[in-house]
Amino acid sequence: MRTPIVAGNWKMNKTVSEAISLAESLKGLLANVKGRTVVVCPPFTALYALGAVIKNTNILLGAQNVFGEERGAWTGEVSPLMLKELGCSYVLIGHSERRKYFGETDEGVNVKMKLSLTHNLKPIVCVGEREDERERGKTIEVVTRQVKAAFEELDSAMIKEVVIAYEPVWAIGTGKNATGEDANSVIGLIRGIIKEKYGQEIGQAIRILYGGSVKPENIEEFMQEEEIDGALVGGESLKAESFARIVKFGME
């Protein structure tokens, strides 16, 4: 039985004081939640403050990105060593906005995966097709390429804590979302790729999320599907009540 996981990606939102306020609200709303992994990924500037707020709670800290080197002359970048010291358990890698706007490549995603795992940071690696790729029937080709590249040269011992997020790019921040059936089909494909590479047991155990305009009103549609293990939530994670409702799907 895979433990459901819900991660909130706050993107470039919330000052430190605003982030603390949101985290304090979430602490209260999620205090009694069990059997779910809950992760919040604030901006880098708020990581230290949030680490203190959510310490010893059932909310885990994640970063939105990481650089592929431990240290050096890389102005503006943040290393996995820094994230671990701040108390991060998870890190988003390869988010579509990083790929689209900052030129991140499949190869770069793989470098970040390896280094994060070396430092016991659990990657949430994002994959997904653009709208034009979907319209041209390229979804399977694109997602397969991204998954295989992300896991290149990673052995089975390394990937047990990896989470995969299927985020169709056309559904992120657009109000559009895949149907539960569509998302389940692609996530089933992803799980099949992992099974082929690492075996049935690991493929069955790895957690795969759906992301893309997830709301309290549609979370059940996705979570009733067999292959989907949770959600990577964008805009709705900035609202304490909404995010809490998503986390508590099926519990109320």
Give catalytic residue positions. 95, 167
How many residues belong to the chain? 252
- Distance, in Å, from the CA atom of 18 to the CA atom of 22, rounded to the nearest integer, reads 6
Nearest of 169, 130, 128 to residue 147 by alpha carbon = 128
Residues forming beta bridges with residue 112, ordered by sequence position = none
Neighbours of 157 (CB within 10 A): 8
Residues forming beta bridges with residue 38, ordered by sequence position = 6, 59
Residues 48, 86: contact at Cβ < 8 Å? yes
- Distance, in Å, from the CA atom of 125 to the CA atom of 52, rounded to the nearest integer, reads 26
Question: Taking CA 48 as the corner, what is the angle to CA 43 and CA 50, rounded to the nearest 5 degrees?
Answer: 75
- What residues contact residue 230 under an 8 Å CB cut-off, 6+ apart? 4, 5, 6, 7, 36, 37, 207, 209, 210, 223
- Distance, in Å, from the CA atom of 224 to the CA atom of 181, rounded to the nearest integer, reads 10
Computed from CA positions of residues 67, 69, 75, 81, in that sequence, does the dihedral angle turn out positive or negative? positive
Q: For residue 148, give the DSSP letter.
A: H
